[in-house]
Amino acid sequence: MRMKKAFQWNLIILFLLICIPSMAQKKDLLKKAVRQEKAGWIYIHIEGKPYERGYQHGYLLSNEIRDAVTTLSFYVKKQYDSSWDFFKKTAKDLYWPKVPTEYRDEIRGIYEGAKDAGYKDLELMDIVALNGWIETAWYYLPWYRETVEKKKTRTKDRPKGSCSAFIATGNATKDGRIVMAHNSWFDYMASRLWNVIMDLNPDSGNRILMQTYPGFIHSGTDWYISSAGILATETTITQFFGYNPDGIPEFVRVRKATQYANSLDEWLQIMIDQNTGGYANDWLVGDIKTGEIARLELGAKNYAIWRTFNGYFAGCNIALNDEVRREETTFDYDNPKTSPYCRYSRWQQLMKQYYGEIDVELAKAFMADHFDISRNRYQPSARTLCGHIELDPEGSPEWEVGPYYPSGAVDAKATDSALASQMKTWAFWGHSCGLDFRAEEFLKQHPEYEWQKPFLKDILAQTWTLFSIHR
């Protein structure tokens, strides 16, 4: 018996001897990592093998990951009548088996880094569920309810119109090279955490500079610059329906495309192959090596690609392909008072007015634009490129969003070929028009949204700031 106990203690000691250096090695990993806070943004640099860069990410953003899981657990229950446990089960059963080893290791690193930094209650599937939460909430959950539970999906459960963006090149721009810009629209209580700029330097593939969310291995908003010269952003196809559970989740495909594609052809093909229809978007993509830009309208059953060396593509949540419109959306494309319709019309005005002169400074101005075409005047609203649903007495009826709902544009980004060749981007946290959102003041005026109080925070307009990769 004594020999058996001695043997057990020897095993424990051996285990500790193995683990102690392991913890020391983990600490060494952080020497490569950087975290800085600037103008409302959290900038992080991570690098190395999958687990290493994941651990750096998780450790540096542990508090923000905790905030993200807590906020989204509340948010999905209130907005989609679903538990976070459902999101984690979906992540485990549907997404995790399709995540390649490289990204599994990175996710495990994020998980362990966040736990070592103090987030003790975190589970591995929380990180997977975070990465797939948009796909689960807007695409898989409606499909599941209709297909499995045989329930009718409400319009507000389908994707809303999120984001305004454009990409231009050739004779449309001032120097003939690519210019790209984007702002992110979403509910303020959840989107306040999209204030991370990440410089990701993996041990294989392309280096990536992107806007992202705590715990994400992708962007989510989406804003990407790769060292291969590929630029990518998107706007969501509004009121989209349909899902292919046999495909590869979007967060895996877009990360793979950005990390490993060296041309537009490669990037587009990775996104199309084994598509789920989850996070159905109009992707605006460019290659600064050639000056070519493309628009990929990617549904679940249909897709369309437009490409050019001269011109522009604008995004505002409207599908342009007839098959995607007719077979995969419920949006009323004939209603001129909807937010996507108005913003589409405004894009045409701006692009016509400034064609041949477009540069980064104009791009910044476009992102702050407050001209409401439906009212024929400058007035921030749900129908302006810089969106302010919180100021709109009509709300967004097309998305079943009530008057003055706290949602709209929370940022802006702009870059061009010259900046992207140096892996640089301009970014603005808050409404780039300069208007602040102050939660306490807002809730006094609109007590009907008091239920959001635990997670509704100020989003204060900052200033345009230039970010680049860590040298």
pLDDT band at 156 (very low <50, low <70, confident <90, very high): confident
Residues 232 and 284: beta-carbon distance below 8 Å: yes
260 found inside a domain: yes
Q: What number is the average pLDDT over the span 288-305? A: 98
pLDDT for the residue numbered 286: 98
3 found inside a domain: no
d(CA 126, CA 119): 12
pLDDT of 100 over the 70 cut: yes
Q: What is the mean pLDDT of the chain?
A: 94
pLDDT, tens digit, 9 for 90 and up, residues 275-285? 999 999 999 99
**DSSP letters for 329-367:** B---TT-TTSHHHHHHHHHHHHHHHTTTTB-HHHHHHHH
13 found inside a domain: no
Which residue's entry shows tokens 């830009």? 293
Question: What are the two backbone dihedrals, phi and then psi, of residue 321, each rounded to the nearest 5 degrees?
Answer: -75, 130
How many domains is the chain partitioned into structurally?
1
222 found inside a domain: yes
Spatial neighbors of 350 by CB under 8 A, at least 6 apart, are: 366, 369
24 found inside a domain: no
pLDDT for the residue numbered 347: 98
pLDDT for the residue numbered 157: 79
pLDDT, tens digit, 9 for 90 and up, residues 359-397? 999 999 999 999 999 999 999 999 999 999 999 999 999
pLDDT, tens digit, 9 for 90 and up, residues 112-132? 999 999 999 999 999 999 999
pLDDT for the residue numbered 16: 46
17 found inside a domain: no
19 found inside a domain: no
pLDDT for the residue numbered 244: 97
| CA dihedral over 409, 411, 415, 420, signed as positive or negative | negative
Residue type at 121? D
SS3 assignment, position 450 = helix
pLDDT, tens digit, 9 for 90 and up, residues 44-99? 999 999 999 999 999 999 999 999 999 999 999 999 999 999 999 999 999 999 99
| Cβ neighbours of 37 (radius 10 Å) | 10
SS3 assignment, position 132 = coil
pLDDT for the residue numbered 154: 76
pLDDT of 14 over the 90 cut: no
Q: What range defines the domain where residue 97 resides?
A: 29-468
pLDDT for the residue numbered 380: 97
pLDDT band at 206 (very low <50, low <70, confident <90, very high): very high
pLDDT of 27 over the 90 cut: no
**Residue 68 belongs to domain with CATH number:** 3.60.60.30
Helices and strands per DSSP (H, E), number in the chain: 16, 19
pLDDT for the residue numbered 455: 97
Residues 178 and 286: beta-carbon distance below 8 Å: yes
d(CA 211, CA 199): 9
d(CA 249, CA 107): 15
Q: What number is the average pLDDT over the span 310-339? A: 96
pLDDT of 15 over the 60 cut: no
1 found inside a domain: no
d(CA 12, CA 4): 13
pLDDT for the residue numbered 162: 77
Residues 367 and 358: beta-carbon distance below 8 Å: no
pTM of the model as a whole: 0.94
pLDDT, tens digit, 9 for 90 and up, residues 389-421? 999 999 999 888 999 999 999 999 999 999 999
pLDDT for the residue numbered 13: 54
Q: What number is the average pLDDT over the span 348-353? A: 98
pLDDT, tens digit, 9 for 90 and up, residues 422-435? 999 999 999 999 99
pLDDT for the residue numbered 20: 44
More confident residue, 19 or 224: 224
d(CA 376, CA 131): 40
Residue type at 33? A
